[in-house]
Structure 1
């Protein structure tokens, strides 16, 4: 229960200790343990120390609230609703193993339950299991999946899915994509091609890109988000595996360092285990408030 031990550490930090150098050193250690990068942890502790001196704050409840205010300044939420009667494309990006294909299925179920016409596009044609996995989800959810043969052109899959959406009087296309970072140059070229096609096929203002990151991978997730943001741009984060093993600091890091807001949080394996991101409750949970 990594999150619980981290929260206990934060709580212990505010257990009647003096606001001295040792306190702020321990705060830095705790924030780093909570998956906030070292550089950012130093900045937060420095800023908090300055605020406490200026406002003459010594009460631990007030100190925690000031820390919460600081953290809330780094993380934002964002929501994108598909437009009825138009071709909407949401492309999901991320490295293999973060839960991208499952997130496509969860979003498909989420939007289907809101009355949207949804099509899933198996644009990860490199990993054979990805297409099979998406088709399995499609069968279970009663949602159409557009797929081509293994090793085919992924941008052609998105092209066909968008044409199908247009022929149906508009729909939301949820595109799964490859994430083989060990072959970064090929991956970037492939994603840029899909990006061009999706940008052309979606109606104006109806194309969004989401980076899927595993909440348990800490600063690695920040580096992954950086790669995809540089390659094609990113509109929002989908945070997966946010259960007892995730400490949660990565959302603050991605917000502060890359300016990317969080759209959804996935908290389990079931289709319904996805919810819109709430910065306030997320920060409270992070600090054990």
Structure 2
């Protein structure tokens, strides 16, 4: 089952400024279900460098709904997206949250080209040039980002593809977030050692076949990594997927194929 999990930076929330506001205490929300197809990537029309993920196109608005709970649109903020993929998410967030300056990042050169093409195509003014960041490396090697620079960090469908460096990733998030900042992580997770529904079980098997070090992370494992880095679980929003009268009523990425770039 895919989730949006938000982690709050422990500290004086006033230091984060009014750009980030707190949602209600940790809770689980069940959204209505949808069916989704493969998240394969393909060139888009005349913009040959723009990669298109149908799955990202479907879920971007619903991820934004969760993200918007934490962003105050009356003041300026800085948001970092780690592993931005095609660039579809970051330009969508930028259009909806113009007071946030967004910093996309990726390790893949083809993804950099796609992100830059989306920035040009949408003419967004609040998205910076993508940075080359390898999240498996220590945070002080993340393209010169300074400690405490981020009000918001967004990570979408990354953790289950990390063969190594998960602990380093959480260390980086803890270092870069301002006190009172928020990290939103989206993807399929195991919960208390249980993987469900069946499509998540199938996804886990496919990941393990491709790389035994890949796989769905348990929320409790993430909690143990978060605590030493001054992060606390703020909220978990859970989603699942089925056919629903031909319309997308919820969202999820639990059955997506591993990245192809």
TM-score greater than 0.5 by the shorter chain? no
Between structure 1 and structure 2, the one with the greater Rg is 1
TM-score, normalization: structure 2?
A: 0.41
User: What is the TM-score when the length of structure 1 is the normalising length?
Assistant: 0.38
Q: Would you tell me which structure has more strand in proportion to its own residues?
A: 2
Greater helix share, structure number:
1
